[in-house]
Amino acid sequence: NSIWVSTDHDEIEKIAKQFGAQVHRRSPEVSQDSSTSLEAIREFLNHHHEVDIVGNIQATSPCLHPSDLIKVADMIQKEGFDSVFSVVRRHQFRWSEVKKGENKMTEPQNLNPAKRYRRQDWPGELYENGSFYFAKRHLIEKGYLQGGKMAYYEMRAEHSVDIDIDIDWPIAEQRVLRFGYFGKEPLKEVKLLVCSVDGCLTNGRIYVTEDQKEMISYDYRDIVGIDLLKKRGIQVRLISERDCSKTLSAMQMGCIAKASATNKLQVLEDWQKDMGLSWKEVAYLGNEESDVECLTKAGMSGVPADACAAAQKAAGYICKSSGGCGAVREFVEHIFLLLEKVNSARKQ
């Protein structure tokens, strides 16, 4: 019914309101380093008697998807649970800790070493992952976030990231880049991929022969990736700032191409309008500052691993491969992952 951000920070309050949230200003008493989430929630409830159920979403779990929260809210409101919390399945063998100086052996906690099985054949165990805790008011007022008629909600592993220490931050970033975060907007199929030639399809190097002819190289894996897109009915178009018409013609890729494109965004907008596509249906792979506007506009954007810093900052996905070394194929695989999500959402 309402979305709140609890904070004692002016800048966080400003940003929260910009994105449509309401703000509860925490008191100094519950804003200490040692303050708990429960203390902040109980203070919030003291000011908002109209709230019967609280869904506490942890800011340190950025990969949480709205669809999970909708399902959990239904568990509380329609299935009668008093509290629901998030868990993730892990396949890790546990052993008892032996403290330094103790003269004893470690013991297995959840396995029999004499009948050790493969972890992929084991159903695993459920662990709290801290993404969210939903509870009814009467529990929270008693000092509980979990209690009464309890249930867990198992999250997918790729959505389960808890930022606890510094090393968790880049892991969270890569999860978001790999699996995407689509928020409340409906998913759309990609129908057009526009790829910058120099530095994406090629490695950006130009070889000049003695008779002043240009030569470039490209990775056959990228050509296979483009062919796979075409077989799925997705158009692929190429764009370059250079006058490389002869080179593109010699590559015989069967793609519409625009060379000498001094304004890449204008070319992209013309193609998008001519095809009657929304920006959500356009994917763009670029690598230079001249690609930044296109990367920002496109619904799905990517750059090779060796793209310039400005392009990397604007892109939604950073390939592990460099330009001319499989980056196009890798981005194609990323597009296929999106299509799987679209099909899954439609089935649901």
Q: How many CA atoms lie within 13 A of 275 on its CB side?
A: 21
Nearest CA among 304, 301, 302, 303 for reference residue 322: 304
Whole-angstrom Cα distance, residue 103 to residue 29?
46
End-to-end CA distance of the chain: 24
List of residues 6+ apart from 275 with CB closer than 8 A: 191, 192, 235
Specify the DSSP element, H or E, that contains 342. Answer: helix 327-347
Residue bearing tokens 């993404």: 131
Active site residue 116: yes
List of residues 6+ apart from 294 with CB closer than 8 A: 194, 264, 265, 268, 284, 286, 301
List of residues 6+ apart from 347 with CB closer than 8 A: none
Per-residue tokens: 51: 């709230």
Per-residue tokens: 77: 């409101």
Give the active site residue among 26, 90, 94, 116. 116
In contact, 58 and 131? CB cutoff 8 Å: yes
In contact, 283 and 300? CB cutoff 8 Å: yes
Per-residue tokens: 107: 């013991």
Q: Catalytic residues, which ones?
A: 116
